[in-house]
Structure 1
Amino acid sequence: MPSLLAPTALLPSGWARDVRIDITEDGTIAAVTPGAEIAGDRVERLGGPVLPGMANVHSHAFQRAMAGLAEKRRDPADSFWTWRETMYRAAHAVGPDDLSAISSHLFIEMLKAGYTSVGEFHYLHNDPNGASYEDPAEMSVRLVHAAAETGIGLTVLPVLYMRAGFDDAALEPAQRRFAADEERLIRILESLRWHGRDSSSLRVGIAPHSLRAVSVDVVRHIATALPEETTIHIHVAEQEREVEDCLAATGARPVELLMAEAPVGPSWCLIHATHVVPDEIADIAASGAVAGLCPITEANLGDGVFPLSEFLTSGGRFGIGSDSNVTLSPWEELRLLEYGQRLVHGRRCLSLPDDGVGSIGGSLFRAAVAGGAAALGQPVGVIAEGFRADLLVLDPAKLAQPDAEEDDILDTAIFAGAALPVRDVMVGGIWRVRGGFHPGEEAARTAFTAALRRIAA
């Protein structure tokens, strides 16, 4: 049984020194012993503070292929809706082999940044003509294989996408790759479960794309037909126009409608939920659902700023996601999440309940790892017996305060410095990144570059 010795580690009870972590052969934490004495040749001493790995609650892997290509203004009223046209063009061009190359490279980038598991909100189901592949889960399976090859934990969330708006309009030609009704979704789920039958780090959930793309009646029907613990993710209230269109069509706001008509609970993740009012904030928090926040993408698209401090005061849970994958850094996501609150409110240190005091970095990190693990349905997020051994070792040389202790470590890692502070990354008891290097990164980068050139051509 391999054992690690951390000079300091973040445990559920707080920071502890000289922490021995024993790991079973199947990658589960067998025991955690603070204040341990060094003994035995099989104990590996770690070179920096140790944290639980971060969960990435929301990713569209294929969008990594268009990173940096949507930053030209072609319309004076440029917005999410004009960006979406660029995204549609990228989606149309990505084939199965391209997605394999993009995903492998992306997942390695995530691991090096400190993400040890990811939720893939995946809707490239069909070929560019809208026809189903022989295996309806062909594109989703490419994600499963990429995750297995690179070593990242994966929760794959095949998307239900049935209409083009609240008025039940037919899908646009550019959306034909996304089309999936309930019957096709079930076939995709069956295929994914077969392909992942031997994996201990794969989870399969579902993702009704949004109330624009799926009626609330269908959302309710499919959610109640599945086991209660099924992981369910949905985009909701990302854009003001979405809220206005929902009000016009249904007389209710998107979150209001979803909370009233669907069995939203602790296994749900509401992606973005940017434009919410106080009653909706309280209802999400009371349901136990996780708010899936993607600050870098939300800023890139001009979505708006989620009311985090109000949500935390209501007892809400959140996780973070890289979404469009323009930047891969949980540290930047958390920093921007707090800075957005400061810019909106004109005050500092806001990512705590209203009556709370303490470390903002510590509060953000703890909340994000816990909420992220819940949102992905993965046994991660804490360094404790029975959980998967997903660990990050920080590099003191990359911290602005190399002698920082306890929560000062997290404040420094998040708010001071641009370099990724991660040295080593373990997933399921296996070192996937050592000294900032993943053994598959050079080959993955070569394949990724070739895929981008094929797509551009």
Structure 2
Amino acid sequence: MESRKFHFAQALLPEGWAKDVSVAVGANGMIQSVTANGRGGRKIMGAAIPAMPNVHSHAHQRLMQGLAEKAGPGADSFWTWREVMYGFALRLGPDDLEAVAAQLYVEMLKAGFSVAGEFQYLHHQPDGAPYDEPAELSLRCLSAAEQAGIAITLLPTLYAHGGFGGQPPVTGQRRFIHSADSYLRMHETLAKACATHPLRRLGISPHSLRAVTPALLQEVLNGIAPDAPVHIHVAEQVKEVEDCVSFSGLRPVEMLLENFDLSPRWTAIHATHMTARETQRLAASGAVAGLCPTTEANLGDGIFPATDHLKEGGAIAIGSDSHITVSPSEDLRMLEYSQRLRDRTRNALASGPGASTGRTLYAAALKGGATSMTQPVGAIARGHRADIAVLDTEHPSLIGRSEDQLLDSWIFSAGNPAVAHMLVGGEHVVKNGRHIREDDIETRFRNTVRRLMT
């Protein structure tokens, strides 16, 4: 068995950067001790940082990466992209989803993510009929995470309607649909699958206020654990805001705040289009804003009001959503750049004069991500799980950098290739840039894609 004690030349600890850091990990994957300026343990070359949670993933969309970039005859938008996505979602069987998800989770690990927040809304067979095991596809995501060695917060999606006010679902949504009773039965099965696994957590993802009514969501919330995380898409698109106002007289974030007692248990995915008052109220609630900047840019969603949200003390986290790219560094870079482009400034989200923008962003997303995922991650410290990313300090973009300069150069220049190693619960799953099961998982993925794309 590999040593459960690791040594890093430098590491980012809660109190700041430290040199010659030894980390002892227990059999349960939790950090038992952290010692700076010491010796001992298996040396891993590079700079150790806490691994990042990915709070928003639709694994099935990895299949269509780059295949919705052809202009249509009319104006392209999120809504035309959605029709393309529905076509891909109707193709995958259980084996296909497992192969695609496993490949995605390997890519997450290689990029520096150690937790996948799987917002999983493929539930039924392509014709809409339930599988013999109604939780089949969500169980396949758990299996894929096990193969890759990534932690997972599974968020099976509650989806009942095609629009505000209980409109009937459209044909492309037939694999998603549940009643409260059928959803809760599925959730109970998944609770048993997650109960004793150290890397698994279970929550719920009401898809959106378009897809669930407040009454339906409350009925389901009453049937699950009171501390389970709740993730919901909200205010991603201008049309969604307009439709919500037309239906209820309220904007989506307002509607959410008026109907539910938001808290750190909740993650508002996107929350792109908010008024100043909504931004203040969301920040004050303690709910996490789950941001997916590369997907939001790809879909033309808009720009999240990050400067105002952070000034109000709001929490943020990041996710790769549609997986047009899978990279915490790129999502953080895009988040910062969007504010710069909108406001024609630089270092928009740095915490103050002289502060590192990369350090500010990384620290905020770590804290919000751990809260959102309800996982014991986000710090290299006793009592946290040993989820650690190690940056290659010999990468051409990182040579000569130290401490916060490493984070700035990784986020704004080097990107994924600078992630050399990954530990999840003390297991060394990425070594020198390669996943320990990369060949087998990629072979199954290749075969799946070739069959589905012919």
TM category (shorter chain) comes to over 0.9
User: Partner of 1:146 in structure 2?
Assistant: 144
User: Partner of 2:6 in structure 1?
Assistant: 4
| Conserved? CA contact 2:180–2:219, under 8 Å | no
Report the Cα distance in structure 2 between the residues aligned to 1:387 and 1:13, rounded to whole angstroms.
Answer: 15
User: Partner of 2:166 in structure 1?
Assistant: 168
SS at 1:351's partner residue?
coil
Cα displacement string for residues 108-133 of structure 1 (whole angstroms, at most 9, x for unaligned residues): 01100100011000000000110111
Report the Cα distance in structure 1 between the residues aligned to 2:415 and 2:98, rounded to whole angstroms.
Answer: 29
TM-score by length of 2: 0.97
SS at 2:417's partner residue?
coil
| Conserved? CA contact 2:56–2:116, under 8 Å | yes
* 1:322 aligned onto 2:320: yes
Report the Cα distance in structure 2 between the residues aligned to 1:272 and 1:28, rounded to whole angstroms.
Answer: 31
* 1:33 aligned onto 2:35: yes
Report the Cα distance in structure 1 between the residues aligned to 2:367 and 2:150, rounded to whole angstroms.
Answer: 18
Report the Cα distance in structure 2 between the residues aligned to 1:374 and 1:141, rounded to whole angstroms.
Answer: 24
One-letter amino acid matched to 1:374: T
* 1:410 aligned onto 2:407: yes
Q: Where does structure 1 differ by over 6 angstroms across 4 or more consecutive aligned residues?
A: none
| Conserved? CA contact 2:99–2:445, under 8 Å | yes
Structure 2: which 5+ runs fail to align? none
Cα displacement string for residues 395-450 of structure 1 (whole angstroms, at most 9, x for unaligned residues): 01225131211111100101123552110100011100000111211111111111
SS at 1:93's partner residue?
coil
State the 1:76 CA deviation: 2.7
Q: More deviation in 157-166 or 395-404? A: 395-404
Q: Write out aligned runs for 1:214-233 (5 A).
A: 214-233=212-231
Structure 1 pair 333–246 and aligned structure 2 pair: CA distance change class (3 A): same
1:454 to 437, 451, 454: 451
Q: More deviation in 145-154 or 216-225? A: 216-225
User: Partner of 2:344 in structure 1?
Assistant: 346
State the 1:352 CA deviation: 3.5
Cα displacement string for residues 348-381 of structure 1 (whole angstroms, at most 9, x for unaligned residues): 101145x665100000111111111110110101
Cα displacement string for residues 210-245 of structure 1 (whole angstroms, at most 9, x for unaligned residues): 000001222233334433311000000000000000
| Conserved? CA contact 1:217–1:261, under 8 Å | no
| Conserved? CA contact 1:220–1:263, under 8 Å | no
User: Partner of 2:424 in structure 1?
Assistant: 427
One-letter amino acid matched to 1:64: R
One-letter amino acid matched to 2:152: L
User: Partner of 1:16 in structure 2?
Assistant: 18
State the 1:181 CA deviation: 1.8
User: Partner of 2:362 in structure 1?
Assistant: 365
State the 1:382 CA deviation: 0.6
Report the Cα distance in structure 2 between the residues aligned to 1:191 and 1:356, rounded to whole angstroms.
Answer: 51
Report the Cα distance in structure 1 between the residues aligned to 2:353 and 2:223, rounded to whole angstroms.
Answer: 40
**Among the aligned pairs, what percent are the same residue?**
45
Report the Cα distance in structure 1 between the residues aligned to 2:241 and 2:184, rounded to whole angstroms.
Answer: 29
State the 1:45 CA deviation: 1.5
State the 1:345 CA deviation: 0.4
One-letter amino acid matched to 1:19: V
Report the Cα distance in structure 2 between the residues aligned to 1:398 and 1:221, rounded to whole angstroms.
Answer: 52
1:246 to 234, 244, 247: 244
Q: Write out aligned runs for 1:120-199 (5 A).
A: 120-199=118-197
| Conserved? CA contact 2:165–2:213, under 8 Å | no
Report the Cα distance in structure 2 between the residues aligned to 1:27 and 1:343, rounded to whole angstroms.
Answer: 42
State the 1:99 CA deviation: 0.4
* 1:385 aligned onto 2:386: no
| Conserved? CA contact 2:329–2:416, under 8 Å | no
SS at 2:152's partner residue?
strand
Report the Cα distance in structure 1 between the residues aligned to 2:436 and 2:20, rounded to whole angstroms.
Answer: 29
One-letter amino acid matched to 2:159: Y
State the 1:456 CA deviation: 2.0
User: Partner of 1:275 in structure 2?
Assistant: 273
| Conserved? CA contact 1:274–1:306, under 8 Å | yes
User: Partner of 2:107 in structure 1?
Assistant: 109
State the 1:257 CA deviation: 0.7
One-letter amino acid matched to 1:261: N
1:207 to 205, 208, 215: 205
User: Partner of 2:73 in structure 1?
Assistant: 75
Report the Cα distance in structure 2 between the residues aligned to 1:452 and 1:98, rounded to whole angstroms.
Answer: 8
Aligned residues: 452
State the 1:177 CA deviation: 0.2
| Conserved? CA contact 2:10–2:20, under 8 Å | yes
1:259 to 257, 261, 272: 257
SS at 1:291's partner residue?
strand
State the 1:75 CA deviation: 3.2
State the 1:135 CA deviation: 1.0
SS at 2:394's partner residue?
helix
| Conserved? CA contact 1:130–1:176, under 8 Å | yes
* 1:333 aligned onto 2:335: no
Cα displacement string for residues 314-364 of structure 1 (whole angstroms, at most 9, x for unaligned residues): 0001110000011111111111110000000000101145x6651000001
Report the Cα distance in structure 1 between the residues aligned to 2:208 and 2:416, rounded to whole angstroms.
Answer: 35
